[in-house]
Amino acid sequence: MKGSIERAKKAGVEDRVTFVAGDLFAADISKATVVTLYLLPGIMGRVEDKLRKELKPGARVLSHDYALPSWKPVEVVTFDSEEKVAITGSPRTVLYLYRVP
């Protein structure tokens, strides 16, 4: 997480971001306007329920590689990232952008 904080400072956005390490299901996300997810597909349904219950309408959710099961993304971006090849065997990356209704 230290690297994320340093990158936020370098980008000049450290006053607008918060990084939290902990139990996702215990965290209060009600004040978030943007949530970034990098989770495995088996948990996405539970996460979707939490996001729907706690986030305000208009909040943005960005999911890396795995879609939320019943939400329709407003945008999908696909690209290759060679860094992933050593981990997954494929460079394919998909980003899903959602807005809370």
Looking at residue 20, its pLDDT comes to 81
Phi and psi angles of residue 2, each rounded to the nearest 5 degrees, phi first: -60, -40
Rounded distance between C-alpha atoms, residue 62 and residue 36, angstroms: 5
Instruction: Classify 72 as helix, strand or coil.
Output: coil
Phi and psi angles of residue 37, each rounded to the nearest 5 degrees, phi first: -115, 135
Looking at residue 19, its pLDDT comes to 83
**Ordered structural domains, the chain, with CATH:** 23-99 (3.40.50.150)
Rounded distance between C-alpha atoms, residue 101 and residue 93, angstroms: 25
Looking at residue 42, its pLDDT comes to 94
- Give 49-66 pLDDT, tens digit per residue: 999 999 999 999 999 999
Looking at residue 17, its pLDDT comes to 87
DSSP 56: P
The pTM is what? 0.85
- Which residues of the chain are modeled with pLDDT < 50? none
Where does 1-94 have alpha helices with state H?
A: 2-11, 44-54, 85-88
